[in-house]
Structure 1
Amino acid sequence: MTETQTSKKSSLLDGWNAPPNLVTYSRIVLVVVFLVLAALAGPWGADNLTMRWVAAVLFIIAASTDKIDGWMARKYHMVTELGKLMDPIADKLLTCGALILASIFGELGWWVTILFLIREIGITVMRFFVIDTGGKVIAAEWPGKLKTVFQCVGLSMLLLPMWSLDAGQTTPMWMSVYYFLTYAMIYVALVLCLYSGGIYLYNTFAGGKKQQSAGDAEA
């Protein structure tokens, strides 16, 4: 048993310097820089508008490249245990960090962020638990993938300080439409987030029971 545990620990660092993992490390650094700049920029970028623009661009870059490391790992057969662990951490650090910061600054209701966090953290922990117990992780279905698209687009729109482009005293129609669409994207992402989370729970528990029942019947 001791040998098995030692083998598991050593295997986690196997391929730590593989190109896909290096991309993941770079994304994590990018996320940290984004969070620092966004925090220093203040609510809506009022404290430092330039930092807010840079932070928004970094978020868009990080969100747009979130599949590159996984694609590289599968295409070039460089899938590692460390990569499986770090890739979702990088993804959740980006989106959850942006959500928390937006709520701290009053740009997004805490109820929205909390619901996102419950689903995102809960499903991520469950995935690791399933892997640790030798089970098969259920792949993300289309609602989950669509959720990611709406979430990243909505947060990108929220982070971009478009209000700074208007020098007038009154709010123009295009800005009202812009922020209406921004929050609509985030709310749609929340619905898809909860829906896809429910699907994952059903497939993990109900699906696993069906497979076990089928195995018992064959035995």
Structure 2
Amino acid sequence: MNSMSSESTDKQAEVKANPKASIFDGWNAPPNLVTYSRIVLVIIFLVLDVMAGEWGADNLTLRWVAAVLFIIAASTDKIDGWMARKYNQVTEMGKLMDPIADKLLTCGAMIVCSVFGELGWWVTALFLIREIGITVMRFFVMERPGGKVIAAAWPGKLKTVFQCVGLSMLLLPMWTLDNSATTPMWLTGYYFLTYTIIYVALVLCLYSGGVYLYNTFVAPKKAEQ
């Protein structure tokens, strides 16, 4: 009985000595400001992409601009993380908002593409189920005693790379570069490669989701045994 009481006291002392960091600690750190800027850029991209219409039929110029903005937003993904590590400004807010910014960019682009008939809804639906589910679980993990945001693992990061490359290729209106009456072989190959990359990203998406579930719920229990 005394040992149990002593163990409980030790745990309470440990919690007091190492209080859980607030999610808002360091919210205005420069890396987080970069992340917020990327979110604003995502919103601008989505507005322009919708205004451009299906395959850029309503405004081809806006489609080109939207595609370039998507590429810029996707390319700057690593800047905030690099800044946080280099200047020792890694925060819980940053670990949460960085993947959310990525999901807003990629999932938003996929939804618009599916609405326009440029990408199958089944692909977008599977991505959304995984992304929304993992995001909700991140909040769930944070609310647990001693819970911390689990950073993205390498399969998830690789998924993001393939997803961004595939969507960039899909958004670029490459068909406008050829005025021939029939579809040229290079254009057929281009879109075949585009969709292949997106499907590879989908496989990585589902796999990385399983890895996250394992690391969140299974691995900790095994470590306690």
**TM-score, shorter chain, exceeding 0.5:** yes
Please tell me whether residue 78 in structure 1 is matched to residue 117 in structure 2: no
Distance in 2 (alpha carbons) for counterparts of 1:71 and 1:100: 29
The answer (yes or no) to whether the contact 2:92–2:149 under 8 Å persists in 1 is: no
Distance in 1 (alpha carbons) for counterparts of 2:196 and 2:184: 19
TM-score under structure 2 length normalisation: 0.85
Please tell me whether residue 146 in structure 1 is matched to residue 144 in structure 2: no
The aligned counterpart of 1:24 is 35
Distance in 1 (alpha carbons) for counterparts of 2:94 and 2:154: 23
Which has the larger Rg?
Answer: 2
1:148 Cα deviation from its structure 2 partner: 1.1
Structure 2: 5+ residue stretches without partners: 1-18
TM-score under structure 1 length normalisation: 0.88
Post-superposition Cα deviations, 1:42-89, rounded to whole Å, max 9, x if no partner, equal 011111000000100110111111121122112112223332332222
Alignment of 1:185-204 (within 5 A): 185-204=197-216
Structure 1 vs Structure 2 CA RMSD? 2.0
Alignment of 1:136-215 (within 5 A): 136-213=148-225
The answer (yes or no) to whether the contact 2:155–2:208 under 8 Å persists in 1 is: yes
Distance in 2 (alpha carbons) for counterparts of 1:157 and 1:149: 12
1:30 Cα deviation from its structure 2 partner: 0.6
Distance in 2 (alpha carbons) for counterparts of 1:191 and 1:138: 21
1:160 Cα deviation from its structure 2 partner: 0.2
The aligned counterpart of 2:102 is 91
The aligned counterpart of 2:60 is 49
Distance in 2 (alpha carbons) for counterparts of 1:195 and 1:211: 22
Q: 1:97 to 1:106 in 2, by over 3 A?
A: same
1:126 Cα deviation from its structure 2 partner: 1.0
The answer (yes or no) to whether the contact 2:158–2:204 under 8 Å persists in 1 is: yes
Distance in 2 (alpha carbons) for counterparts of 1:12 and 1:144: 22
Post-superposition Cα deviations, 1:83-105, rounded to whole Å, max 9, x if no partner, equal 23322221110011001001000
Distance in 2 (alpha carbons) for counterparts of 1:176 and 1:160: 14
1:138 Cα deviation from its structure 2 partner: 4.3
SS in 2 for 1:67: helix
The aligned counterpart of 1:125 is 136
Structure 1: 5+ residue stretches without partners: 1-6, 214-219
Task: Among all aligned residue pairs of Structure 1 and Structure 2, give the percentage whose two residues are the same amino acid.
Answer: 81
Q: How many residues align?
A: 207
1:16 Cα deviation from its structure 2 partner: 3.2
